[in-house]
């Protein structure tokens, strides 16, 4: 249920800005659908100090009430949030849909779908795992504190220390929820418990003095120049706070998981917990924003795997690689020294430099294919070393709305051979330009709509766009014109997403084991066993999330095919891409209807 706070919490910052920065936001009166949606979300705002900081709107200003705090992770807070959500959904119907049109009708439809989806997910209280190897407070909060909390003056240092102390309280609240989950039959699989223990042990290894919450601070304190005496004093306070509040919390959670491990079983699918089948059905609805069943999604995945295999085989044959299976030939290319950077700091920097170069190349062409280009800059960084063991190959972190922090593309550089040079372009096009960085940046700048619509809370749309962007870069922008292996890398990435449909539904609906899913993904993708294992274990703890990518891409491609067929010579790709992006993220079923209206308008133009 932390999703409620994460989505709605940051809206307070947006509402405050829209109100001219006045601290009288509680006098806001709803008049019309847009204002009601904004008003309804204010009630959730205080729930997530973390997201307020992430959005970067009011930290270190006179309005900053939150940046020394962390959120409430108790069951009581969840119950309060659910009651508020149901009240907000009931009130929405007083403002529509009757009498609405255009953007106001679209705002009603998107918000109603979103509220209904959240309510549906709350119907089963014990529906997942709270402490896992790749997410949750024990993984997310350290990176939030080191990468997102802004140190710009002495007061922000004091707030950082306060948040470290708050972290101890959060861990105790989360541990209480884990124990409650266990009492109701919800315990992670044994391999997830083992991996989570390893991640937590790695974070506290070396004690407080070697902890990232401490070691990342000297440079930041040096930049704000507090003087040697104050700097030393604050470093001592930070180390003491980590020793007193953070390390004991990790040790306690590790001890609980070690106690739970002997009785945990090895089943991978969410069907293993009470009401697991319903949990998965809700997860598929939420993540795909469609009514597709697990069987339908599985069959689409199998068909896409077969199609992509044919296209990959054609490229391999054209490059003279004819012997062995497709995956054997891909593994040979992935292992070839000439395609890999050295697995050392110099090689990692070379990879980062190459990605910067690729981003400059695609941005040079972007104006030919997009009406709106992101005003926010982009940074390309490595995944923090303390989280790289369980992190994906890459991910995007959105820019702060006030411009204080750029968009960031993080790449996992633990093992450089996980990402041969010919696979890097597609990773960049997905996470940066023209993928997530474009889509999220456009959404952040939408004007005249409820602020919820700037937050992109629909994975099928956002991940579908990023996967569509990979194909756009290849087939329309010509980014692989003289790089057939780069195009092979694109197909390998697309295969990865098609395989996800098969293994996610395989584990959670067809009762595949973890090992069956790993074997299938290795067979079909040619990725390394370490990389595949990380991915499969991610799908275990995030049921349905992996189905969003390919489902969303296929929906956008279907809409484009309809537009091209119906508009003929009137079809303009630049305008089409603008239409998909300009209204922000939305459920696919609403996007399809919205696109049909656009096609009709273009016909009449």
Q: Are residues 224 and 112 in the same domain?
A: no
Is the pLDDT at 24 greater than 70, yes or no?
no
Confidence of residue 30 (pLDDT cuts 50, 70, 90): low
- At 104-119, the pLDDT tens digits run 999 999 999 999 999 9
Mean pLDDT of 58-79: 91
Residue 542: inside a domain: yes
**For the CA atoms of 366, 367, 373, 378, what is the dihedral angle to 10 degrees?**
40
Q: Are residues 306 and 243 in the same domain?
A: no
Of 16-25, 135-144, 322-331, the poorest mean pLDDT is in 16-25
Residue 528: inside a domain: yes
Q: Are residues 91 and 120 in the same domain?
A: yes
Q: Which of the pair, 229 or 384, is modelled with greater confidence?
A: 229
Close Cβ partners of 187 (under 8 Å, ≥ 6 residues apart): 181, 193, 260, 263, 264
Q: Which of the pair, 158 or 450, is modelled with greater confidence?
A: 158
Q: Are residues 337 and 428 in the same domain?
A: yes
Q: Are residues 69 and 37 in the same domain?
A: yes
Alpha-carbon span 88 to 115, nearest angstrom: 8
- At 545-596, the pLDDT tens digits run 999 999 999 999 999 999 999 999 999 999 999 999 999 999 999 999 999 9
Confidence of residue 454 (pLDDT cuts 50, 70, 90): confident
Residue 447: inside a domain: yes
Range of the domain at 171: 134-266
Q: Which of the pair, 56 or 200, is modelled with greater confidence?
A: 200
Q: Are residues 337 and 474 in the same domain?
A: yes
Question: What share of the chain has pLDDT > 70, as a percent?
Answer: 93
Q: Which residue has the tokens 């209480």?
A: 176
Q: Which of the pair, 9 or 255, is modelled with greater confidence?
A: 255
Is the pLDDT at 498 greater than 70, yes or no?
yes
Q: Are residues 241 and 311 in the same domain?
A: no
What is the average pLDDT score of the chain? 91
Is the pLDDT at 11 greater than 80, yes or no?
no
Identify the pLDDT of residue 18. 34
Q: Are residues 357 and 476 in the same domain?
A: yes
Mean pLDDT of 343-369: 96
* Single residue among 197, 232, 266 that ends a domain in this structure: 266
Is the pLDDT at 370 greater than 80, yes or no?
yes
In SS3 terms, 476-540 reads as CCCCCCCCHHHHHHHHHHHHHHHHHHHHHHHHHCCCCCHHHHHHHHHHHHCCCHHHHHHHHHHHH
Confidence of residue 60 (pLDDT cuts 50, 70, 90): confident
Alpha-carbon span 578 to 127, nearest angstrom: 38
Identify the pLDDT of residue 449. 86
Residue 559: inside a domain: no
Q: Are residues 257 and 314 in the same domain?
A: no
Is the pLDDT at 41 greater than 70, yes or no?
yes
Mean pLDDT of 376-402: 85
Q: Are residues 414 and 547 in the same domain?
A: yes
Identify the pLDDT of residue 143. 92
Is the pLDDT at 488 greater than 80, yes or no?
yes
Q: Are residues 56 and 120 in the same domain?
A: yes
Q: Are residues 261 and 319 in the same domain?
A: no
Is the pLDDT at 46 greater than 70, yes or no?
no
- Which pTM was predicted? 0.86
Identify the pLDDT of residue 8. 43
Identify the pLDDT of residue 25. 35
- At 230-267, the pLDDT tens digits run 999 999 999 999 999 999 999 999 999 999 999 999 99
Mean pLDDT of 499-528: 95
Number of domain units in the chain: 3
**Apex 448 CA angle, 446 and 453, nearest 5:** 50
- At 174-218, the pLDDT tens digits run 999 999 999 999 999 999 999 999 999 999 999 999 999 999 999
Residue 518 Cα distances to 187, 264, 527, angstroms: 22, 20, 10
Identify the pLDDT of residue 300. 98
Identify the pLDDT of residue 356. 96
Residue 572: inside a domain: no
Question: What share of the chain has pLDDT > 90, as a percent?
Answer: 81
Identify the pLDDT of residue 31. 64
Taking phi over 0 as left and psi of -120 to 50 as alpha, with beta for the rest, 566 belongs to: alpha
Residue 583: inside a domain: no
**Three-class SS of residue 411?**
strand
């Amino acid at each position: 249920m932390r999703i409620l706070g994460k989505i709605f919490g940051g809206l307070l910052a947006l509402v405050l800005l829209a109100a001219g920065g006045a601290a009288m936001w509680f006098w806001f009166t709803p008049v019309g659908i847009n204002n009601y949606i904004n008003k309804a979300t204010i009630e959730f705002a205080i729930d997530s100090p973390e997201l307020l900081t992430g959005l970067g709107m009011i930290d270190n200003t006179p309005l900053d009430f939150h940046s020394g705090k962390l959120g409430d992770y108790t069951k009581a807070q969840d119950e309060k949030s659910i009651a508020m959500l149901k009240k907000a959904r009931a009130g929405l119907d007083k403002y529509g849909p009757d009498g609405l049109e255009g953007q106001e009708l679209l705002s009603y439809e998107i918000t109603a779908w979103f509220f209904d989806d959240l309510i549906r997910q709350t119907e089963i209280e014990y529906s997942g795992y709270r402490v896992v190897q790749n997410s949750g407070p024990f993984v997310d909060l350290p990176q939030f504190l080191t990468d997102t909390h802004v140190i710009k003056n002495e007061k922000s240092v004091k707030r950082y220390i306060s948040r470290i102390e708050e972290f101890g309280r959060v861990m105790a609240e989360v541990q209480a929820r884990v124990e409650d989950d266990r009492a109701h039959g919800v315990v992670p699989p044994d391999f997830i418990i083992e991996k989570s223990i390893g991640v937590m042990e790695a974070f506290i290894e070396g004690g407080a003095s070697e902890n990232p919450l401490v070691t990342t601070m000297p440079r930041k304190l040096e930049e704000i120049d507090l003087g040697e005496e104050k700097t030393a004093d604050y470093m001592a306070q930070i180390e003491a706070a980590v020793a007193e509040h953070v390390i004991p919390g990790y040790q306690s959670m590790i001890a609980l998981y070690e106690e739970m491990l002997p009785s945990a079983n090895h089943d991978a699918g969410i069907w293993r917990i009470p009401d697991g089948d319903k949990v998965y059905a809700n997860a598929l609805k939420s993540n795909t924003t469609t009514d597709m069943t697990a069987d339908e999604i599985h069959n689409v995945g199998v068909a896409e795997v077969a199609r992509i295999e044919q296209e990959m085989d054609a490229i391999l044959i054209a490059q003279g690689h004819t012997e062995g299976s497709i995956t054997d030939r891909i593994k040979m290319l992935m292992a070839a020294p000439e395609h890999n950077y050295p697995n050392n700091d110099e090689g990692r920097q070379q990879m980062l430099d190459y990605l910067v170069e690729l981003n400059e190349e695609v941005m040079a062409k972007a104006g030919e294919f997009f009406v709106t280009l992101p005003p926010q800059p982009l940074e390309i960084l490595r995944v923090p070393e303390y989280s790289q063991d369980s992190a994906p190959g890459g991910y995007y972190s959105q820019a702060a709305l006030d411009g204080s922090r750029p968009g960031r593309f993080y790449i996992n550089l633990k093992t450089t051979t996980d990402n041969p040079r010919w696979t890097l372009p597609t990773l960049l096009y997905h996470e940066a330009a023209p993928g997530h960085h474009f889509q999220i940046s456009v959404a952040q700048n939408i004007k005249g709509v409820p602020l919820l619509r700037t937050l992109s809370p629909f994975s099928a749309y956002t991940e579908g766009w990023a996967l569509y962007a990979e194909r756009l870069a290849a087939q329309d922008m010509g980014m692989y014109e003289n790089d057939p292996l780069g195009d092979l890398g694109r197909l390998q990435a697309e295969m990865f997403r098609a395989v996800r449909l098969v293994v996610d539904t395989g584990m959670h609906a067809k009762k595949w084991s973890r090992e069956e899913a790993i074997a299938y993904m290795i067979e079909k993708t040619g990725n390394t066993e370490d990389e595949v294992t990380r991915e499969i274990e991610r799908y275990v703890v995030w049921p349905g999330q992996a189905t969003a990518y390919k489902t969303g891409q296929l929906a956008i491609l279907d809409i484009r095919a309809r537009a091209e067929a119906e508009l003929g010579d009137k079809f303009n790709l630049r305008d089409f891409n603008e239409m998909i992006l300009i209204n922000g993220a939305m459920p696919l079923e609403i996007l399809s209807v919205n696109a049909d209206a656009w096609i009709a308008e273009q016909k009449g133009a």
